[in-house]
Amino acid sequence: MNEYRTAANAWGLTGGIGSGKSMAADILRRLGIPVLDMDRLAAGLMVPGTVVYREIVGAFGGGIVGTDGWIDRRRLAALVFSDRERLRLLESIVHPATLQETARRLNGDALRTVPLVFVESAIVFEASMDDWLKGVAVVTAPLETRIRRVMARDNASAGDVADRIAAQMDDSRRTSGADAIWHNDTNRETLRNQIIDTICGQNSGMLSAKN
């Protein structure tokens, strides 16, 4: 039985770090299509006073808490991304709660009857979200492009970015399970045109592409 079954016409939006899935999400929103950002939902579940907050601090210690009492996500990330066991522990706390909140939002009055809604997440396949979403769109870009983008965005070294990419699912595995693949290796307008082509093909007449 699928515990996350949703009434909404919900698609996943995913891609590796530096692929440009956030750009795709922005394009979708500008086209009038709602996008749920699972990273933001997860952050909202990690605020002081929540069950997720207490479980994370209990598992990783007070050293991850900043002077303001909030979890320092950079400090937490530094702990888990170099240790697979710690990463799995964090995921076991955050992922179920975030998936439940995602399903709750999709089934709420604001989204359950919209023609189309996307769920932006880096873990669509890892969390088996493709089992209950109507489809999955994957944003891709060449490895060198992704590394360059993240280096510029995060002021990180090429080695650090390459390690982060290596810790994620391989792009070929994402694209093999995709219902739509958007190549983000040129410019925003090209990506936008691919998105519109998919929307018009999957939902004939549901959206005007004149935005």
Provide the residue-wise pLDDT of the chain in tens; the chain has 211 residues: 356 777 778 999 999 999 999 999 999 999 999 999 999 999 999 999 999 999 999 999 999 999 999 999 889 988 887 788 998 999 999 999 999 999 999 999 889 889 999 999 999 999 999 999 999 999 999 999 999 999 999 998 999 899 889 888 999 999 999 999 999 999 999 999 999 999 987 544 344 333 3
> Are residue 30 and residue 121 in the same domain, yes or no?
yes
> Are residue 55 and residue 107 in the same domain, yes or no?
yes
Residue 17 lies in a domain: yes
Contacts of 71 (CB under 8 A, 6+ apart): 46, 53, 56, 57, 64, 65
- Angstrom distance (rounded) from CA 97 to CA 42: 8
> Are residue 49 and residue 89 in the same domain, yes or no?
yes
Put the strands of the sheet holding 180-183 in their side by side order: 35-37, 117-120, 10-14, 135-140, 180-183
Residue 4 lies in a domain: no
> Are residue 133 and residue 198 in the same domain, yes or no?
yes
Per-residue confidence (pLDDT) for residue 201, from 0 to 100:
77
**pTM of the entire structure?**
0.87
Per-residue confidence (pLDDT) for residue 2, from 0 to 100:
52
> Are residue 132 and residue 149 in the same domain, yes or no?
yes
> Are residue 147 and residue 88 in the same domain, yes or no?
no
Task: Report the chain's C-alpha Rg in angstroms.
Answer: 18
Instruction: Check if the beta carbon of residue 121 is closer than 8 Å to that of residue 12.
Output: yes
The range of the structural domain enclosing residue 98 comes to 44-113
Q: Domain total for the chain? A: 2
Per-residue confidence (pLDDT) for residue 1, from 0 to 100:
35
